[in-house]
Amino acid sequence: MSLPPEKASELKEIIHQQLLKMDVHGRIREVLAETIREELAPEHQRLSTEDLIKALRQRGIVDDVMKELKFLSDMNETERTSAPKPSTHFVEREPPVLKKTNIDPTRRYLYLQVLGGKAFLEHLQEPEPLPGQICSTFTLCLHFRNQRFRSKPVPCACEPDFQDGFLLEIHKDSLGDGSKMVDATTMLSICDPVHMVLIKTDTFGETTLVASYFLEWRSVLTAENGITNVAVELLGVGTESKVSVGVLNIRLEMYPQLNKTLSSEITSTQFALERQKTAEKERLFLVYAKQWWREYLQIRPNHNARLVKIFAQDENGVNRPVCSYVRPLRAGRLLDTPRQAARFVSLLGHERAPVIGGGGGKQEQWCTLLAFLCRSKGDCEDHANLLCSLLLGFGLEAFVCVGTKAKGVPHTWVMTCGSDETITFWESLTGHRYLHRPVNPDDPPLAEQPKPLYPYRTIGCIFNHQKFFGNCQPSDAVELCVFDLHDESKWKPMSGEAIKSVCPPGSTSSVPPFPPLCASTIDAAVTSNEIEVQLRILVSEHRKDLGLSTVWDDQLSYLLSPALAAYELERTTGVSAGNEEFQDAVRRAVPDGHTFKGFPIHFVHRNARRAFATCLRSPFCEEIICCRGDQVRLAVRVRVFTYPESACAVWIMFACKYRSVL
């Protein structure tokens, strides 16, 4: 693939600068003069290009130049170990990592190119970004058959300049004979769409979900030359799911080219059959769900007020069975334990779906997993669905619970049933776990009853990818509930076959497949160091405004590290360790007659200025930062713990020691 002219000129400029830096031109002149003197007779001083290249090779100059210009490997090594340099233009916030892609000639690939966008009318008045100015950006995220891709960020504009290509392997999952080249007929049976999610990132780093679209790629199977161009109209999300937000120009190319293409009649017939089959299954499930609900209401009249949720709307306003939002999700080597999974989910931001206008009503929007992960934030339902999926992947019997918290606020959380009938509630927004011990209302008044520690008040239903139960006990209060799921007088089940018909696997439904989790792209050591340096500057400036000098104690700062590691370990496992060693080290570092004060705080973002502003609102922290006294020494330590999807836990500890003067 050839480079566009502007990229080619940029590459030439980089090479030119590198040659100037190495003074290659001067060295060539020296070799040229030396070669003429040594190897040619005075009467015949004509030198060919080949002779000169040969002389440069012999003296090792060509090798030196090539070593300096090894972009693919050496640059990546330096990027991992050194802090990224500030760019002179907005470009990406993370430097691009160039990768070589090994193409297997026995496999089929779909090359998807995004060739710009148009009609993003919300950004019609957006000014051109000035050099060095940070502006809002669009990023396109793709998922296809267990492969995920992310475009380079481009400035938000009416016609955003997307120029990206993605190589999607169609043969990713086993389709029978692995050595056989998959043909057009077999590919027609692969009904997985390309899920595209468009994210907007503002100048403060806040992300917004702009659009979520399922691209039908199989139209390329009918193209004569194996190439087809598609104009994709993106619709908004939530309340704006019927409003166009813009158009993307997409080119699809099959590689290698098909020997035999399909006729458009065959593909359109296949699509119609798939739609018909899916619609029929969804219709039958709807009929069954209505019948189940009628039977549920017959049990008690007040069941009508219980939070029994059978369907939920996704970001595109499509009603889906709640069971389809959950399925076993294995995190590979990215997460090791169920508790670590709970910690990871709690680090993803909590944000309710936006509502236009007042009224205080909650806009319902259960996001597909790709949209939730790409935006890195969502509502409690998104968190609970992801945590339940991860716990199912770890082999636990997990359910999503739908009910209320205090003051009747609707809420979802996760429950696991142990093989010894132990019931554990998992709060997906915090990672906290609570044991459930039911209160027996028939016990005598003086009998001691367990005091619930969990914040949940009522529970209407529970579900996972295979089961759905409606709570039909006399009271829906969580503290009175008995979770004997085999007792149909307490929990009314839905038919497993009915659920299986509309929830994968086992259904050709419109439910999108789950994407795999991605490893973090954050360098924990570099990021920790950057935030720490910024905080030192902010503290020094703040103290200077108060007329105070600042002296940093690097050794004391380093001694704070074990405490931060222990705090994160405790959040993840519930086990506290290493406190004795930390206290002993601090006692040794603080001389007699001196006072030590420390203040730890936890964030899920990496913005040093925001973190500092939050810290100053705490009187304890402000007391340390603005400490006055004799021989005042300040310390700050930052530790970033990375998790999948670039989620991170940021622990900061401010400390000071000073001579106590009475």
pLDDT per position as a tens digit, 305-345: 899 999 999 999 899 999 999 999 999 999 999 999 999 99
Q: How confident is the model at residue 432 (pLDDT cuts 50, 70, 90)?
A: very high
Q: Above pLDDT 70, what percent of the chain?
A: 80
* Residue-level pLDDT at 531: 96
**Length of the chain, in residues:** 662
- pLDDT tops 70 at residue 62: no
Q: How confident is the model at residue 242 (pLDDT cuts 50, 70, 90)?
A: confident
What residues contact residue 366 under an 8 Å CB cut-off, 6+ apart?
Answer: 312, 313, 314, 320, 322, 325, 379, 381, 382, 385
Give me the residues paired with residue 634 across strands: 552, 656
**Residues 254-264 pLDDT 10s:** 888 888 888 99
Structure pTM? Answer: 0.81
First to last CA, the chain: 76
What DSSP state is assigned to residue 324? G
- pLDDT tops 80 at residue 90: no
More confident residue, 416 or 89: 416
More confident residue, 84 or 357: 357
Residue with tokens 């189940």: 292
Q: Above pLDDT 90, what percent of the chain?
A: 57
For residues 471-477, give the mean pLDDT: 92
For residues 229-240, give the mean pLDDT: 91
Query: In this structure, are residues 518 and 644 in contact, taking their beta carbons and an 8 Å threshold?
Result: yes
For residues 81-107, give the mean pLDDT: 53
* Residue-level pLDDT at 229: 94
Count of alpha carbons within 13 Å of 26, Cβ hemisphere only?
4
- pLDDT tops 80 at residue 40: no
Alpha-carbon distance values, 90 to 11, 94, 132, 150, 153 (Å):
19, 11, 6, 18, 9
Round the CA-based radius of gyration of the chain to a whole number and report it. 31
* Residue-level pLDDT at 74: 41
**Residues 500-515 pLDDT 10s:** 988 876 555 567 788 9
User: Sign of torsion, CA 466 322 500 387?
Assistant: negative
What phi and psi, each to the nearest 5 degrees, are found at residue 658?
-155, 160
For residues 59-69, give the mean pLDDT: 64
- Look up residue 50 and give its amino acid: E
**Residues 364-419 pLDDT 10s:** 789 999 999 999 999 999 999 999 999 999 999 999 999 999 888 999 999 999 99
Q: How far is Cα of residue 93 from the mean position of the Cα atoms in its chain? A: 16
Query: d(Cα 193, Cα 513) in Å, to the nearest integer?
Result: 9
CB contact burial 182-214 (16+ within 10 A = b; e otherwise): bebeebbebebbbbbbbbbbeeeeebebbbbbe
What residues contact residue 495 under an 8 Å CB cut-off, 6+ apart?
Answer: 288
Closest C-alpha among 314, 321, 318 to residue 281: 321
Q: How confident is the model at residue 574 (pLDDT cuts 50, 70, 90)?
A: confident
Which tokens belong to 532? 């720490």
**Residues 140-188 pLDDT 10s:** 999 999 999 999 999 999 999 999 999 999 875 554 455 567 788 888 8
Alpha helices in 300-402 (DSSP H): 338-347, 369-375, 380-393
- pLDDT tops 50 at residue 87: no
Strand ranges (E), 236-366: 244-255, 311-313, 319-321, 349-350
- Look up residue 590 and give its amino acid: V
